[in-house]
Structure 1
């Protein structure tokens, strides 16, 4: 397998991530939707995912580096999917199961330990329960989950192509 298809898939993932990141910023600044803490965490994972795929598309990595970029990319997508699942579960749970109201991500990073900030994110906040926007009857966390799952499928496809092409290569003596 040539490296061009791998670079193309990394570039495709970069474009998808960049467009999704742009849409999230539009919803925040253009549509005045204030993101909750879990939304901000998803955005961090999305930005990391996008930058990793951009680096992989520009760098022209060798086969071993393709695996590393792919694992890092899929790791970010998996973490984003986990936070999106948590938010979807919070939105579908009873209102009294949400945590207390917490300050912004910036405040938490400056004033709490990283562990405390992550614990509060996992517990969720009142802001994370609100459904302020839907498209085709899906909330933003549900769209985020679909995106991250799609990117995980893209990454798994790339890994399966790499593994199958490696098996087809003749052994060197």
Structure 2
């Protein structure tokens, strides 16, 4: 099985990761516009991490990098999906707090972006607010940030497999490849 995983070229891993990013954004937009669940500031930052991962992996589909290119795409994918994991973990932490211990609701993200510098907005959002601590969607006993974290973990694994398959490809002679 490991040999087959290493036969997948960089283009295949990038395509798989990009498709997962598209699926994650599709679910987020469906929940927002069909399910009428407005995203909190941390949800929006998680969407930014999904889009950043997509932007990192998309060129790899068309470029099909050889040698170090796959390693670079994979490491950048690990960086962006790791940021998403951290954001989702923070969101899950805020949701785990007892009702009285959660921070109070602050101003909306639009307002903060208008009146505050970007660094202050990021710090304020990461600090969390009451709306980030509210649980609005649970499916199979897992909250939406939990599902998002699982998506980011899969994206991180795809990026890691991209790195390892690129490194193993550099170390061996050319062979039959998948995708």
Shift of 1:26: 0.8
Shift of 1:3: 9.3
The one of 71, 77, 81 aligned to 2:75: 71
> 1 or 2, which has the higher helix percentage?
1
Task: Give the stretch that moved more between structures: 23-32 or 52-61.
Answer: 52-61
What is aligned with 1:131?
135
What is aligned with 1:116?
120
Q: How many residues align?
A: 169
- Structure 2 alignment gaps of length 5 or more: 1-5, 175-179
Task: Give the stretch that moved more between structures: 72-81 or 60-69.
Answer: 60-69
2:95/2:135 contact within 8 Å kept: yes
- Deviation by residue 1:93-138 (Cα, 9 ceiling, x = unmatched): 1223322212232222221111211111221110111111111111
What is aligned with 1:25?
29
2:9/2:64 contact within 8 Å kept: no
3-state SS of paired residue (1:32): coil
- TM normalised by structure 2 equals 0.87
Q: Provide the C-alpha distance between the structure 2 equivalents of 1:130 and 1:87, rounded to a whole number of angstroms.
A: 10
Q: Provide the C-alpha distance between the structure 2 equivalents of 1:105 and 1:134, rounded to a whole number of angstroms.
A: 24
Q: Provide the C-alpha distance between the structure 2 equivalents of 1:76 and 1:98, rounded to a whole number of angstroms.
A: 27
What is aligned with 1:99?
103
CA RMSD of aligned residues (A): 1.9
The answer on 1:62 being equivalent to 2:61 is no
Q: Provide the C-alpha distance between the structure 1 equivalents of 2:37 and 2:148, rounded to a whole number of angstroms.
A: 15
The answer on 1:5 being equivalent to 2:9 is yes
- TM normalised by structure 1 equals 0.89
